[in-house]
Every structure is written in structure tokens, then in C-alpha cells.
A = this chain, B = another copy of it.
Amino acid sequence: MLGHPSSVLAPALFAVVEKMKLSGRKLLEGYLVGLEVMARLGRIFGAQAYEKSWHPTAIFGAIGACASASYLLRLSYEQTLNAIGIAASEASGIKKNFGSMTKPLHAGSAARKGIWAALMAQRGLTADSQALDGTFGFLEMFNGEAYSKQALHDRGKPLEILESGLIFKQYPCCGGLHSLLDNVIHLKRKEGIKPQEVAEIECRVHPHRIAYLDRPQVREGLDAKFSIQYCVATALLHGKVGLNHFSTESVARPETQALMKKIRITPGNDLGSFGSEVIVRYSDGRQFSATLREARGSPNFPLSEAELLRKFVDCATLIMSSSRAEKAGEALMGLDREDNVENILKLLVSD
């Protein structure tokens, strides 16, 4: 599915698990419940949902977080139906707000709404027991008549986590430019590329990606996360792209801005939807290139535990010391063996 299930499910689950003093294993069970619900909704809506419709993370997230919370709160079958129905009336999130702080807020709002709906149902609040489908239901209201009635009734399919798996993002920016960054960092390491000798960096990506990722000018971090120019220049300068690169100060750096001007984006229909080729040309005529059909982090091309931990530490050090971030990251890696998630949560509070 397209969407970011974990951005909604993780905060929702940690909140419920903390309140109920549950184990890490329970949290992971709750995650699976919410993930499968979100993935099923994604299948029912179909791929066009992302292009034409509401923010999928937001609207599927409210239902998914509600399913996770209903599971952990041990709601009865009837209560769960009511909870889903309440969440169906809470779900929202317009794409017009992309590019503002309200876009990431959608994920947090969806988590809050999902838990709230489950708590309301637990207290006896009722909703339509079939709020998702039919006239004026969730599916029709959020996706017109276009949703797949077949996928709606596809029970007993293999779990989505087994069939499709999860994609982990190595860089805290748009997934559509991840394979470019893999290529650039690979070239920098392998060839020892010096940014000052570079005359041009040609980035070949699918035209679908160019439509929203060709951003030669960026003014703040939220823009920069969707800019091939900014992210590729950053990767070539620093050999990595971390959360601290999306601050206003980082965006303003002259050396980054100068390198951004050397980047040329060209259409690459032969590379698949999320593939890319990077060609670095030196002033003296030498050139280096690298190609990928998909970014690292997918089930076919997984990141190592050490790489995942490194990304966590990179993000977490914005609010805590690196020693503490490492400790918290290690604890999270052992989530499935932790009897009381509160122990981990204590490590996740900012310094």
C-alpha cells in the first residue's frame, strides 16, 4: 500500500501500551492488526487513491489505529464495530495541506482519533455497525464509487506483511528520491568524488517522480524533503542525509545551494517507478554512474540492523544525547522481549 502506516500506528500503540502496562509482544500484535487493516483499506481503494483522493496515511490511519487500540483494549466484537464506525466519522486529512506542518500532523491526529474512537466505544457509544461500506459509508465518501468491491470481500488472503512486507526509509525525506541517494552515497564512497570538481550531476528518474520532486529552489525543511536538488547535493557533500539536514540553517548553506545548481533532472522511463540512475560528470571529462531499480530498505533489498539503528540514532539525537539515543535504539530492537514497554518509553523521553 501507499502510505505510512507506522507513523500513525507507532505513537498510537505506545500510548495505549503505556497506559495499560502491556508487553512489547502485545504492542507488536496490535501493530499487525492495525497494519493489516490499513493495507486492506489500501487494496480496496486501489492505487489511484493516492493520486486523486485524501491523504491515505490520515484516513486509513484513523481506522488502523482504531483497530490496533480496539485489539489492545480487548473490546468485544460489537464494541469493535462501534469503534470502527466512530473512527470512520473522525477520519480526515486533505492533501491541500501538504507542504505545511499540518501534513505530518495528519499522522498524529489519526493516531489520536483511532484511540479516542476505541475508548468511546468501550464506554458504550454506538455507531453504524457497517460504517465502512454502502451508501454514505467511509469507502463511498472517501473514494466515490471507485473502490474495489472484490478486495472488500477478500477474506482469508495472506497477510500483507508476509505478501508485501514493509519498506524502511533510510533517509528522512520523500521515498521517491531514495534510490537516487543510495546511488550518490555509493558513488561518493566508491569513487571518492570531490564536490568541488563536479561539473554536472545528471539524475534520471521516472517522470511521475519529476512532477513533484524537481524543486530547484527550497526555502525550508518541508520543501527540502521533496527536492531532488537539495537531497542529492546534501548526500554528495556529507555522504549521508539525516534529519538535521532539514533545518532552515542547513537549507541556507551556500555550498549546498551552489551544488544544487549543478544538478540536472532527466526522465528515465527505463528505470521503473522508483528506480534511478545518477551520472556524475567532472570538469575534466571523467564521469561516474550508478543505477538502482529500487532503493535499499525494501524486503528484497533490506537494511541491516546496524543501519536501522543508525537512522534511529540520527533522528533521535535531535532531542537527546547520542549515548542515550543508542541505548533507546538497542532497547527498541529488543521490543519483542520486553515485558513492560514503559521501561523503553522512559528512555524515549527527550533529555
Instruction: Find residues 101-146 in chain A having any chain B CB closer than 8 Å to their own CB.
Output: 101-102, 105-106, 109, 120, 125-128, 130-131, 134-138, 141
What separation, in Å, do the CA atoms of A307 and B257 have in the docked complex?
A: 70
**Cβ-defined contact, B137 with A125, below 8 A:** no
**Cβ-defined contact, A96 with B126, below 8 A:** no
Would you call A97 an interface residue if the criterion is a C-beta within 8 Å of the partner chain's C-beta atoms? yes
**Cβ-defined contact, A109 with B126, below 8 A:** no
What separation, in Å, do the CA atoms of A51 and B310 have in the docked complex?
A: 53
Q: Please indicate the chain B residues that have their CB under 8 angstroms from the CB of A109 in the complex.
A: 89-90
Those 4 A-B pairs whose CB atoms lie nearest each other, nearest first: A95-B136, A92-B92, A102-B127, A96-B137
What separation, in Å, do the CA atoms of A86 and B94 have in the docked complex?
A: 9
Dominant secondary structure of chain A at its interface with chain B = loop
Would you call A93 an interface residue if the criterion is a C-beta within 8 Å of the partner chain's C-beta atoms? yes
**Cβ-defined contact, A99 with B86, below 8 A:** no
Would you call A85 an interface residue if the criterion is a C-beta within 8 Å of the partner chain's C-beta atoms? yes
What separation, in Å, do the CA atoms of A266 and B307 have in the docked complex?
A: 73
Would you call A213 an interface residue if the criterion is a C-beta within 8 Å of the partner chain's C-beta atoms? no
A and B contact pairs by CB, cutoff 8 A, 8 listed: A86-B97, A89-B92, A94-B137, A97-B128, A97-B131, A101-B125, A102-B131, A105-B120
Would you call A91 an interface residue if the criterion is a C-beta within 8 Å of the partner chain's C-beta atoms? yes
Copies in the complex: 2
Would you call A12 an interface residue if the criterion is a C-beta within 8 Å of the partner chain's C-beta atoms? no
Q: Please indicate the chain B residues that have their CB under 8 angstroms from the CB of A138 in the complex.
A: 94, 96
Interface size class of A (residues with CB under 8 A): 35 or more
**Cβ-defined contact, A97 with B85, below 8 A:** yes
Would you call A150 an interface residue if the criterion is a C-beta within 8 Å of the partner chain's C-beta atoms? no
Smallest CB separation, A216 vs chain B (Å): 22
Would you call A39 an interface residue if the criterion is a C-beta within 8 Å of the partner chain's C-beta atoms? no
What separation, in Å, do the CA atoms of A92 and B136 have in the docked complex?
A: 12
Other-chain residue from B102, B106, B130 in contact with A126 (beta carbon distance below 8 A): B102
**Cβ-defined contact, A141 with B101, below 8 A:** no
What separation, in Å, do the CA atoms of A99 and B141 have in the docked complex?
A: 18
Other-chain residue from B82, B90, B96, B125 in contact with A128 (beta carbon distance below 8 A): B96
Would you call A58 an interface residue if the criterion is a C-beta within 8 Å of the partner chain's C-beta atoms? yes
Q: Please indicate the chain B residues that have their CB under 8 angstroms from the CB of A135 in the complex.
A: 96
